[in-house]
Amino acid sequence: MANRGRKGFTLIELLVVIAIISIIAAILLPVMAQAREKARQASCLSNLHQIGFAWMQYCQDVDEINPLNCYLTTANLYYSWFGVIDLSTGKMNPQMGILASYTTGNHILLNCPSASLKPGIGSDPSAAFGYGVNEYIYPYQFTSDDPVQQAQAVSLATESAPAQTILMTDTAIYINPTLYSQFTNYAPGDQTYGVPTTHALHQDRTDVLWCDGHVKSMLPTYMVTPDIIANSPATLQTYKLGYLIEPDCVIGDPTCQDKLYEVIKP
């Protein structure tokens, strides 16, 4: 009996198989990407929760005073919760960070896993990457002497509603044409530095650490007019930079726009 050779795929059958695989991939890849981002968001929330715990431990050890955020002019050093940056060299020493001993040297906590930003201007790439502290809690100050002695930090006793006051969020700043890491989260009513810095990194939401230590994800509100450095509303929304305000408030209303940032509530 004659041997029959195996019949291979015809070109049409092969094209059909490729088309089916392409359709399945088109369906699954976005789902997988969303799942990966959900995992990164969960990691980010965990980071913020641990940072919040370290922050509160520090405060309890120093008579309930929030960490300092200051620039020592005589030494050209920037003191922050995540480390000390020598602005003359751009190098950062995380071991001198105010919270270093409370995070057991785990520098990964300082970085949002979804952030892919350039380091802030004049800062070391290993500095905090993607988180910024509420400017009302963490005002930027200049001092010419020992920052611990001269800079004035915010007391926990002045926080009238910790559970309703932002401590830290996913944060970035857009300076055309680049998105940079940013260490301060600005409020809508800030007329000096008031550019949107709340960064909606996680499927259009931002992760938020509150002053009482709880964390949650929120939708930011976007500008309807250019910011103070003339970035258009469309540009800011493209880069997902906005503010956090209460649902019944609008940006531009001085009676409520800064309520989630203010230490003493109106």
pLDDT in tens, 217-227: 999 999 999 98
- Give me the pLDDT at residue 118, please: 63
Long-range contacts at 225-231 (CB < 8 A, ≥ 24 apart): 227/194, 227/195, 227/196, 228/191, 228/193, 228/194, 228/195, 229/175, 229/195, 231/174, 231/176, 231/195
Distance CA 194, CA 222 (A): 13
Q: How confident is the model at residue 179 (pLDDT cuts 50, 70, 90)?
A: confident
- Give me the pLDDT at residue 7, please: 62
- Verify cis geometry, omega within 30 degrees of 0, for the bond prior to 177: yes
Q: According to DSSP H, which parts of the chain are helical?
A: 11-61, 147-150, 233-238
Per-residue tokens: 256: 């409520």
| Residue 78 DSSP SS3 | strand
Q: How confident is the model at residue 150 (pLDDT cuts 50, 70, 90)?
A: low
pTM of the entire predicted model: 0.82
Average pLDDT, the chain: 83
Closest to 134 (Cα-Cα) out of 200, 239, 208, 37: 208
Residues 118-135: tens digit of each pLDDT = 655 445 555 556 889 999
Distance CA 89, CA 122 (A): 8
- Give me the pLDDT at residue 235, please: 94
| Residue 65 DSSP SS3 | strand
Residue 182 has pLDDT above 80, yes or no: yes
- Give me the pLDDT at residue 148, please: 55
What is the mean pLDDT of the segment spanning 93-113?
79
Residue 55 has pLDDT above 60, yes or no: yes
- Give me the pLDDT at residue 124, please: 54
- Give me the pLDDT at residue 67, please: 85
Per-residue tokens: 43: 């990691």
- Give me the pLDDT at residue 117, please: 64
Residue 202 has pLDDT above 80, yes or no: yes
Q: Which residues pair with 215 in a beta bridge?
A: 209
Residue 186: CB partners within 8 Å, gap ≥ 6?
135, 193, 194, 195, 196, 197
Residues 58-83: tens digit of each pLDDT = 999 988 989 878 777 777 888 788 88
